[in-house]
Amino acid sequence: MPKKSTTLFDIPLYNGTYSDFFTKIQNPEKKTLVFTPNPEIFVRASRDNEFMDILKQATYNVPDANGLYVGYMMREGKSFFTSALRTLFCKKHIREVYGELIKGSDLTRDILE
């Protein structure tokens, strides 16, 4: 069972299912700020302290790309090659450990519907 949040490069990330997350944000009790960072966002944040601070202030940062799974595994000591292969061929296990991807385009579409 995944935790509901974790961090990657000091940025907190939601770690759960899309359906649970969507249910959480449908009727928020307070103002909610959601970002859907991908690897490019993490690269920019690593070079831009102001941008990093903005991401850290979000109510939720939800993982938007498979590259974040690679980042998680590399942080744990696995090689890039091993991490990339596991992301491709062990999707069910990866999502159980690190949570589901929540793509910004899917989230936006579902909110607007």
Rg (CA), the chain: 14
What is the per-residue pLDDT for 11?
Answer: 87
| Per-residue pLDDT band at 22 (split at 50, 70, 90) | very high
Whether 79 shows a pLDDT value over 90: the answer reads: yes
Query: 25 by DSSP, 3-state: which?
Result: helix
Q: What is the mean pLDDT of the chain?
A: 89
Long-range contacts at 95-98 (CB < 8 A, ≥ 24 apart): 96/1, 96/2, 97/2, 98/2, 98/6, 98/15, 98/63, 98/68, 98/69, 98/72
What is the per-residue pLDDT for 4?
Answer: 56
What is the per-residue pLDDT for 12?
Answer: 87
Whether 2 shows a pLDDT value over 80: the answer reads: no
